[in-house]
């Protein structure tokens, strides 16, 4: 599976772009062969972990899953694929960063779905390989033991050659996502000594800038992907 992410900053009309993306762009993209799943995340600032003020201007993160890296190359070689790409770019007013994402995901056996999601954006991370190793081998296992934590993802980002890509988004290294059963679950975890200690350990390991958001996610899967899960 192959994943891309788009990060949108300082958008002029967020609601209109969301409407376009969900009602017009997603349905057409999901009809293309090899497109498995799409998500759009609307972000609301939760807090700055270490004074990363510029992160607070990020409005949306979009995610697209393909069968393989070859799939996206084949799609962009078609007239329909290029047309959809140009259409999306024309609608995305503001700054945009486009990335290939190397995703690592862990899901709890206790629950299949989380209703509440937070996103952390790590920028100018010192020693990215060490941070990724810490997050996957130490932080994730401890967090997944906490009651009400449903799923976690870490996405290591590699910039693409998008023609109008914003330079100030190039130095985003990771997008980390945590799904909880509810907002109350997260509050309860962060009120415990263990929860506070985990939060502090994460911030200390970034050694860069980190912004934290509450995310409202809209997700659609292709019919092929849904059939595979049955």
Spatial distance between the Cα atoms of 45 and 175, rounded to a whole number of angstroms: 14
Spatial distance between the Cα atoms of 48 and 213, rounded to a whole number of angstroms: 9
Tokens at residue 152, please?
Answer: 């976690």
What is the DSSP pairing of strand 149-159 with strand 95-107?
antiparallel
The residue count of the chain comes to 230
Neighbours of 124 (CB within 10 A): 14
Spatial distance between the Cα atoms of 174 and 149, rounded to a whole number of angstroms: 20
Query: Residue ranges per domain, the chain?
Result: 2-229
Fold of 2-229: Alpha-Beta Plaits (3.30.70)
Residue 230: per-residue pLDDT: 45
Instruction: For residue 181, give the DSSP letter.
Output: S
pLDDT, one tens digit for every residue, the chain (230 residues): 899 999 998 888 899 999 999 999 999 999 999 999 999 999 988 755 555 555 558 899 999 999 998 998 899 889 998 899 888 888 877 788 888 899 999 987 655 566 689 999 998 888 999 999 999 999 999 999 999 999 999 999 987 765 556 777 878 999 999 999 998 999 999 999 999 999 999 988 887 788 888 998 888 887 655 455 54
Residue 124: per-residue pLDDT: 87
Q: Which of 88, 110, 227, 69 is nearest to 162 (CA)?
A: 88
Spatial distance between the Cα atoms of 92 and 90, rounded to a whole number of angstroms: 6
Sorted by sequence, the CB contacts under 8 Å of residue 116 that are 6+ apart come out as: 179, 180, 181, 182, 183, 185, 186, 214
Residue 95: per-residue pLDDT: 82
Spatial distance between the Cα atoms of 194 and 114, rounded to a whole number of angstroms: 21
Q: Which helix (H) or strand (E) holds 194?
A: helix 193-206
| Radius of gyration of the chain measured on its C-alpha atoms | 17
Spatial distance between the Cα atoms of 51 and 147, rounded to a whole number of angstroms: 29
Neighbours of 94 (CB within 10 A): 17
What's the pTM value of the predicted model, to 2 decimals?
0.86
Spatial distance between the Cα atoms of 137 and 90, rounded to a whole number of angstroms: 41
Residue 110: per-residue pLDDT: 59
Tokens at residue 151, please?
Answer: 């799923």
């Amino acid at each position: 599976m192959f994943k891309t992410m788009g990060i949108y900053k300082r958008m002029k009309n967020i609601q209109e772009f969301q409407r376009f993306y969900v009602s017009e762009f997603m349905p057409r993209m999901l009809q293309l062969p090899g497109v498995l799943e799409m998500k759009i995340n609307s972000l609301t600032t939760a807090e700055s972990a270490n004074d990363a003020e510029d992160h607070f201007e990020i409005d949306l993160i979009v995610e697209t899953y393909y069968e393989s890296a070859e799939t996206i190359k084949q799609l962009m070689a078609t007239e329909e694929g290029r047309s959809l790409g140009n259409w999306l770019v024309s609608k995305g007013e503001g700054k945009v960063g486009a990335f290939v994402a190397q995703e690592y995901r862990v899901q709890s056996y206790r629950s299949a779905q989380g209703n509440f999601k937070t996103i952390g954006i790590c920028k100018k991370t010192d020693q990215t390989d060490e941070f990724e190793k810490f997050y996957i081998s130490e932080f994730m296992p401890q967090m997944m033991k906490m009651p009400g934590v449903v799923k976690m993802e870490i996405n290591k980002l590699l910039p693409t050659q998008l023609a109008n890509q914003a330079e100030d988004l190039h130095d985003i290294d990771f997008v980390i996502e945590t799904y909880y059963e509810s907002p109350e679950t997260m509050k309860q975890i962060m009120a415990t000594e263990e929860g506070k200690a985990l939060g502090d350990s994460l911030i200390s390991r970034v050694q860069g800038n980190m912004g934290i958001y509450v995310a409202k996610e809209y997700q659609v899967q292709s019919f092929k992907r849904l059939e595979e899960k049955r």
